[in-house]
Structure formats: C-alpha cells, structure tokens
Structure 1
Amino acid sequence: MKKELIIGVSLIVLSLISCGKNESGNKGTIKLETSETKVVDNNGTMDTLTSGSSTSIVNGNKTETKSSIYKAVDGTLVKVIFTETSKESTLAITSNKKTFTLPKIKSDAKETIYQKDDMKATVKGDSLILDQDNNIIQLVKTKI
C-alpha cells in the first residue's frame, strides 16, 4: 500500500514539473491556450463555457451568444461574451471572477463600441480595447 502511494505521488509530482510553461521566446506570438471560465448567470446557476457560439429561442425571442477568449499583452486571459437579442446587444467581460456587462452604444463597419459608466470597450476585428478612467488595456482574440 505504501509503495503504491509513493509511486502515485511521484508520478503526480513528475507530471506537474514536466508540464511547466516556458514563456521565453517571441513575445509577439500568441500562444494557443485552452481556457475554461465559469460564469454565473442571472438565475445563480454556474455556466462553464469555452469559445463558441449558440442561438436560442425563449418565448419567441431569439438570442445569439458568441464567446471568445482574449489575451492581454501581459498574458492575462479574459473571457468575452457577446449577446445579441432583438432588444439589445451586450458585451460581458469576465476576468478574476468578476464580470462587467456593457451595452452596445454605437456600431459601424469598422468598430463597435460598448459603454457603461466609466468603462468603454471598443471592438475592431480581432482586437478589443478597454478604457476605464484613462487606463487602456489592449486585448487580442486567441484561437482556441
């Protein structure tokens, strides 16, 4: 029994050591990483999402949801969920177990702007620029 326990613990320790990340190299390259984010919806239920999209119809109202993972320059991963209904469009940003939901205020062929209070998000192609109290964070969509 002791032998099996020591072997099991040794295998776990070896696998953890061998799976260490090496962040050296070209910093301009976006590395492919998988991220799973848990989001609590309005009903208090836990929802685990990865990148993807879905369409649902509830009481005759169509809701389209697209989720993506964005990466900041410092390597921080952020979950972004775009929700489109017949009444409104929103952007939900989840990072560090906090979610900020911003309504769409403007959209044209080049960019879409979401804003609530002092937080503003500008989406241009695969980039997302967050501006809060003149603190600007640039994010780029990862391909998961």
Structure 2
Amino acid sequence: MKKSLLMLNAILLLTAVSCKKSTEGGNTGIIKTDSSTTIVTDKNGKVDSLSESSTIVDVNGKKYEKTDFVYKATDGTLVKVIFKNDPKESTVAITSNKKTFTLPKVESKGGETVYKKDDMTARVKGDSLHLEQGNNIIELKRTKI
C-alpha cells in the first residue's frame, strides 16, 4: 500500500514537472491553461477542502473545467478521479492500477449524477462515488492525500 502511494505521488510529481512549457518557444497555440483556479464549494456554499485541483483549460478557444479528486475505496486503495465539464459533454475519468476508465454523463437528478459506458456505471452523490460493473460494486469516498 505504501509502495503504491509513493509510486502515485512520484508519477504525479514527474507529470507536473515534465509538462511545463515555456511561453516563448514551442507550439503554444495548441493548449493554453488559464492561471485562474476554480473554488469548489459544497451544497452549503463552504469551500470544499477535499478538492485536489481545479483548472479551466482553453483548447483552441474553447474553455472547459477539469477538477481532480482522490477517492479511497473501502479496502484502502486510492483512486484518482477527474471530472471534466465542457460545453459539449461532461465526463468522469477514473484511474486505478494504471488503467483509466472514461465515462460520459448520462443524467443528473436529486443531487446525484450518473455516468455510464457499456456495463460500467458511476454514481456520484456528495463526496461518495459508487462504481458498478456487472455484479461488482465498489464504494469510494473522497479523501485527502
């Protein structure tokens, strides 16, 4: 468990360091990142302290919001979850064990949002995420690293 947590942190650190681009050189017209951050609030308007990062990304003049969270399964496994909201579609990307599953948003009602692709369904309500795939159900809670 400690080894996988250290590996996840190392990968995230390397990704953050290696993805920095100079504004003077390279093809800066493809991806531009807005330096402003989005504050995530809960239902009561309080700042959500569990959010990892939230950015507004500008791709070819189109802006979308991307918010990263870390969720913890009941067995202690950490899972990275990225919510992406753009004008065309909203998706959730769930990464665990070097595998990423991207599910499009199907519906949102009563404080619950449902994402579904093929036989995999993700239900997000508050700080919990329930994954269903076939007969398997995995319950995740949002956490801090």
TM-score of the two chains, using structure 2 as the length reference: 0.66
The question of 1:70 aligning with 2:43 is answered no
Shift of 1:85: 0.5
- Corresponding residue SS for 1:87: coil
Sort the Cα spacing of 1:124 and 1:133 in 2 relative to 1 into closer, same or farther, 3 A: same
CA RMSD of aligned residues (A): 2.7
Shift of 1:143: 2.5
2:125 match: 124
1:104 match: 105
- Corresponding residue SS for 2:58: strand
1:114 match: 115
What is the identity, as a one-letter code, of the residue corresponding to 1:54? T
What is the identity, as a one-letter code, of the residue corresponding to 1:96? N
Shift of 1:104: 0.2
1:36 match: 9
- Corresponding residue SS for 2:116: strand
Sort the Cα spacing of 1:80 and 1:37 in 2 relative to 1 into closer, same or farther, 3 A: farther
Identity rate, percent: 57
Sort the Cα spacing of 1:38 and 1:113 in 2 relative to 1 into closer, same or farther, 3 A: farther
Structure 2: segments with no counterpart, 5+ residues: 18-50
Provide the rounded CA distance (Å) in 1 between the counterparts of 2:132 and 2:126. Answer: 17
Task: Mark the structure with the bigger radius of gyration.
Answer: 1
Contact 1:54 1:66 in 2 (8 A): yes
Shift of 1:84: 0.6
Once the two structures are superposed, residues 22-67 of structure 1 have per-residue CA deviations (whole angstroms, 9 ceiling, x without a partner) of xxxxxxxxxxx8853848xxxxxx8459921100112221110000
Provide the rounded CA distance (Å) in 2 between the counterparts of 1:109 and 1:93. Answer: 23
TM-score of the two chains, using structure 1 as the length reference: 0.67
Structure 1: segments with no counterpart, 5+ residues: 1-20, 22-32, 40-45
Shift of 1:110: 1.4
What is the identity, as a one-letter code, of the residue corresponding to 1:122? R
Shift of 1:108: 2.0
Shift of 1:94: 0.2
Contact 1:37 1:79 in 2 (8 A): no
What is the number of residues matched between the two proteins? Answer: 108
2:62 match: 61
Provide the rounded CA distance (Å) in 2 between the counterparts of 1:126 and 1:37. Answer: 26
Provide the rounded CA distance (Å) in 2 between the counterparts of 1:37 and 1:124. Answer: 30
Provide the rounded CA distance (Å) in 2 between the counterparts of 1:142 and 1:85. Answer: 25
